[in-house]
Amino acid sequence: MSDTDVTGRVVIVGASLAGTRTAQHLRTLGHTGPIALVGAEAELPYDRPPLSKDLLKSDWADETVESFRLATRGELDEAGIDLRLGIPAVGLDVAAKAVLLDSGERLAYDTLVIATGAAARPSPWRPASGVLQLRTLADARAIAERLALGEPVVVVGGGFIGTEIAAAAIGFGCRVTVVDPVAEPMARLVGPELAASLVDLHRANGVEARFGVGVADIRGEAGALTVVLDDGTELSTSTAIVGIGSIPSTDWLAGSGLQLENGVVTDAGLRAIGAEGVFAIGDVARWPHPGRGLHRAEHWTNASDQARFVAAAIAQGADAEFVSTDYVWSDQYDWKIHTVGHRDPAGTSVVVGDLAADGRVAVVHADASGTPCGAVTVNWVRALNQIRRLLASGATVDSITEQLEQLGSSAPRAAA
Ligand SMILES: Cc1cc2nc3c(=O)[nH]c(=O)nc-3n(C[C@H](O)[C@H](O)[C@H](O)COP(=O)(O)OP(=O)(O)OC[C@H]3O[C@@H](n4cnc5c(N)ncnc54)[C@H](O)[C@@H]3O)c2cc1C
């Protein structure tokens, strides 16, 4: 079909944030043709960020879980979206323009949207009960059950998800150890300027941080596990949670002819390289980012923005290059961390505010040429919003820091 044929058959594989939002935007933008939304999970589509935040603290009442659904079945039915849950796609025939489902069915498409996201990078240690990972609602439920026991927990991996789990475990009264082979794992999240403060925050809340040493083995079973570190230290624990990143879900595309390199490689308009009428979006997509080269983002706003972008390309023939907002957030205890843009390791950073004194701070990043390229804020949403506006308007680092200083001196902490 031509990109503007609103009657064409659209098949979307992956029924989570990127896939569900694409289907909904297509209808809003006037697409009248059939839309099939295929998902491997049997669950109605749900949002993942609460899995390491609200849901790990909740009592798992039905209404709490339902509040994190991306749509109800009624809404999807009303929109005429053919929802196929619990049926993974197992192959793609780009010549015949058909998706092969695990059920044996072939779904013909005029346009295919690949939104199969990512899966938790598998734990390299031998499987044992009590060793858990977090990607799905079922994973979060299993982790919440273990945390509720209030027994010791070792979290392997000091990334956003690992540290959010650690914070939740502290809330359950667990003794928590976070292990990461990197000496300052928080630097990956917030940059070197704030990494020590974030480690201090976890320590102040009772987390034992074992950084700069890896895990050699995990032995035993739930309730009586031993995590063996590379330096020979043995940590006794009841539960181990392994959060060591994720890998894009592309196995089902092997041999399809699509370019697969740490994700589905696309052009700047998110069209998959190697086939006609195929887009890739969300955590599975690797596209040419203007500032970062071929890039795969694993962030909510990116998946949501790419869904809207591709729906417009399909329903309205919009022919543009995707521009990412590069926005990420994390909640750690009562800290609200936001990052926008990126940090150039060859560039410079300016700190505005004093986290210890004011409880809030902003760090503005410039690239090697001195051009502002990103920022991180802690507990300072007004600064974040201002930085986003100023970055978009092409302001200089001096101008951004000056305006943030004014904002800081004019607004009391409570108004941040
Ligand atoms: C615990 C957790 C906390 C997070 N917190 C934050 C946060 O605070 N801030 C932030 O910006 N981002 C956060 N994220 C990241 C954010 O949730 C993801 O970027 C977002 O979910 C990506 O959406 P997606 O639809 O591209 O992929 P996914 O959400 O991974 O969904 C892909 C879907 O495709 C399905 N699928 C896979 N293979 C197949 C197949 N062969 N056939 C059919 N279906 C298939 C999967 O089962 C899955 O349902 C978090 C993620 C997790 C796991």
CA of 220 to the centre of ligand 1 (A): 31
Task: For residue 150, give both structure tokens.
Answer: 């209030």
Query: pTM of the entire structure?
Result: 0.94
At 331, phi and psi to the nearest 5?
-110, 125
Q: Write down the pLDDT at residue 416.
A: 38
137-147 vs 160-171: helix crossing angle, rounded to 10: 40
For ligand 1, atom 27: residue with the closest CA: 117
Q: Write down the pLDDT at residue 19.
A: 98
Domains of the chain: 10-119+247-316 (3.50.50.60), 131-244 (3.50.50.60), 334-415 (3.30.390.30)
Residue 34 to residue 149: CA distance in whole angstroms: 48
Q: Write down the pLDDT at residue 411.
A: 54
Q: Write down the pLDDT at residue 125.
A: 94
CA–CA distance from 7 to each of 34, 76, 110, 322, 324 (Å)?
7, 18, 10, 24, 29
User: Per residue of the chain (416 residues), what is the pLDDT tens digit?
Assistant: 445 678 899 999 999 999 999 999 999 999 999 999 999 999 999 999 999 998 998 888 889 999 999 999 999 999 999 999 999 999 999 999 999 999 999 999 999 999 999 999 999 998 889 999 999 999 999 999 999 999 999 999 999 999 999 999 999 999 999 999 998 888 888 889 999 999 999 999 999 999 999 999 999 999 999 999 999 999 999 999 999 999 999 999 999 999 999 999 999 999 999 999 999 999 999 999 987 899 999 999 999 999 999 999 999 998 899 998 889 998 888 899 999 999 988 999 999 999 989 899 999 999 999 999 999 999 999 999 999 999 999 999 999 999 999 998 865 443 33
CA of 48 to the centre of ligand 1 (A): 6
Q: Which of 259, 234, 235, 264 is nearest to 247 (CA)?
A: 264
Residue 258, helix vs strand vs coil: coil
For ligand 1, atom 6: residue with the closest CA: 49
CA of 236 to the centre of ligand 1 (A): 32
CB 344 within 8 A of CB 58: no
Closest ligand 1 atom to Cα of 118: 30
Residue 213 to residue 225: CA distance in whole angstroms: 18
Q: Which of 339, 316, 270, 313 is nearest to 114 (CA)?
A: 270
Neighbours of 143 (CB within 10 A): 23
Q: Which residue in this structure is represented by tokens 């959010």?
A: 164
Q: Are strands 246-248 and 234-237 parallel, antiparallel or unpaired?
A: unpaired
Task: For residue 346, give both structure tokens.
Answer: 């060859």
17-28 vs 300-316: helix crossing angle, rounded to 10: 30
At 224, phi and psi to the nearest 5?
-145, 65
Helices (H), 62-121: 62-66, 73-78
Q: What is the DSSP letter of 375?
A: E
Pocket around ligand 1 at a 6 A CB cut-off: 13-19, 38-41, 48-49, 51-52, 88-89, 115-118, 134-135, 161, 249, 252, 282-283, 298-301, 303, 328-330
Q: Write down the pLDDT at residue 176.
A: 98
Q: Write down the pLDDT at residue 4.
A: 65
Pocket test for ligand 1, best of 16, 284, 306 (most atoms within 8 A of CB): 16
CA–CA distance from 387 to each of 226, 242, 397 (Å)?
46, 34, 10
Residue 38 to residue 86: CA distance in whole angstroms: 8
